[in-house]
Structure 1
Amino acid sequence: MKNLKSIALSLVACAAFAAPAYAAPCGNNAGGFANWKVAFAAEAKAAGVRDRGLQALANAQYASGTIQADRNQKSFKYSLDKFMQVRGANTIVSQGRKRKARNPGFYQTLQQQYGVPAGVLLAIHGMETGFGGFMGNSSVVSAITTLAYDCRRSAFFVPHAIGALKLVDQGSITINTKGAKHGELGHTQFLPGNALQYGVDANGDGRVDLYNQADAMASTANFLRRKGWKPGAGYQEGQPNFRVIKQWNAAGVYQKAIAIMAAQIDG
């Protein structure tokens, strides 16, 4: 669970999506979700969410599967060796090398533009969705609004719920868009607020689509660069860019695994 300092930092980072002072009251079960949505709609509207986003909020369902997943994140408690075994690190490295070799120009362009090596992007892509093999089967809007309502980490997820509704307004997602249990979306599982803030239209079709691989990888590189990635600096534990990997996922075992796999992919 995030401490108060971490929550405060999260809110500062997502200031663009900050809620008004009078927040909708949180709850710990499905019973108050309908009333919460009514109150939260006023917050969302004040934060700039328009009709399409508000309609998606009205149609959101309490996601009991999301709450179960939130209470049962066992893999982050494993040792590093066990975590890498469970997450299939050897397969990720092998597939990552092949993907880099098949499309070197794409990753070279991303590195030139954002300074982030291919190995880091591919390690994240492999870890998050098996290179797009499974991007989730939960409603993004229902999952993220459920977490915003749930008292355990409401302050952290409220800005991302606002972000998700704004993505609906923009046409980037709909009420039917599927993602992970915590509302993450696309190839590298962006939280909605981050997708709104750091998303890049890399294929030039006029919209940010995190389910498009080019957009997703460019957006991931953009996120890391804007979080402080230093081109050419190391990213292993103790090196300058390792702290940026921490911005992607708060679990120490995840951060170490990404750094190790990335180095192996880049050779």
Structure 2
Amino acid sequence: MRFVLAAAFTALAAPAIAAPCGNDASGFGAWKQAFAQEASAAGVGSAGLQALANAQYSTSTIRADRNQTGVRYELNEFIRIRLGSLDSFANQMRREQNKNPNFYASLESAYGVPAGILLAIHGMETGFGRTMGSTPVVDSITTVAYDCRRSAFFTPHAIAALMLVDQGGLGANQQGAAHGEMGHTQFLPGNALRYGVDADGNGRVDLYSVTDSLASTANFLRQKGWQPGASFQEGSANFRVLNEWNAATVYQQAIALSAARLQ
């Protein structure tokens, strides 16, 4: 396995936002023209710039963004809604693991992250790849980068998405979730660029490949401080690392409890 990282992304952490943001579709075309200059200066090439030129304002993304309520369920209710039950979800995880047990063992050997954690994330994020989103990533991520509410946060992710198009790791019209989350475990583009791993050795990071996606997820957790061989239950250092993946405590608890069923 080898890393395919873009060192330039570090410089994108706090870009000077020259393109004018907006709160509806009316200014999106003008924003794209201004943003193209910003993206080009950051190193985006012709394929990425063409994807930006073709990007459409995503009303579904804005609707999803405006209607966010956060996770407010108690743990048992969250498990019932998201997983059905811990036992049934663990059985699904075990079936996935049994398809390629050597692969999961190799990830634990390389990164120290056990199969249960990776499978729990994979299952909770996309149902093991069954539902990876229905909005073109470039459309959604440029829409929230343009939107005035959180343009500062999403602008570097928009530039990263265009860089991924340049690198061949993201199709110009490839679909993801409402805010640009992509692939089997729903990486934001900037995280895909920074933590992505070319696990299958084909020369590019492809988060729509389960091999690259789960290796990248393991790498993300390890880089965030995961301690190989240590506990990941609530109160542990590894449990706190799960906060880097998702800030909802019930989500972290569900990952840890599900993963424990595979030990």
* Same fold, judged at TM 0.5 (above): yes
Higher RCO, Cα 8 Å, sep 6+: 2
Q: Which residue pairs with 1:144 in the alignment?
A: 141
Runs of 5+ consecutive residues of structure 1 not aligned to the other structure:
1-13
**1:242 Cα deviation (Å)?**
1.4
Q: 1:163 aligns with which of 157, 160, 163?
A: 160
Q: Quick check: 2:17–2:152 contact (8 Å CA) kept in 1?
A: no
Rounded to whole Å, the distance in 1 between the matches of 2:78 and 2:70 is 6
Q: Which residue pairs with 1:109 in the alignment?
A: 106
TM-score, structure 1 normalization: 0.90
Structure 1's consecutive aligned runs of 4 or more residues displaced over 4 angstroms after TM superposition are none
Q: Quick check: 2:15–2:156 contact (8 Å CA) kept in 1?
A: no
Alignment RMSD (CA, Å): 1.6
CA deviation map 1:84-115 (0-9, x unaligned): 21112534322002222332211111000000
Q: Which residue pairs with 2:4 in the alignment?
A: none
Rounded to whole Å, the distance in 2 between the matches of 1:61 and 1:250 is 30
Rounded to whole Å, the distance in 2 between the matches of 1:22 and 1:120 is 37
Q: How many residues align?
A: 253
Runs of 5+ consecutive residues of structure 2 not aligned to the other structure:
1-8
Rounded to whole Å, the distance in 2 between the matches of 1:89 and 1:201 is 33
Give, as a single letter, the amino acid of the residue that structure 2 aligns with 1:118.
Answer: A
Q: Quick check: 1:20–1:46 contact (8 Å CA) kept in 2?
A: no
Verify: 1:190 aligned to 2:183, yes or no: no
Q: Secondary structure at the match of 2:237?
A: coil
Matches within 5 A, 1:67-82: 67-74=62-69, 76-82=71-77
TM-score, structure 2 normalization: 0.91
Q: Which residue pairs with 2:45 in the alignment?
A: 50
**1:22 Cα deviation (Å)?**
4.3
**1:19 Cα deviation (Å)?**
5.2
Q: Which residue pairs with 1:9 in the alignment?
A: none
Matches within 5 A, 1:1-267: 15-18=10-13, 20-74=15-69, 76-90=71-85, 91-264=88-261, 266-267=262-263
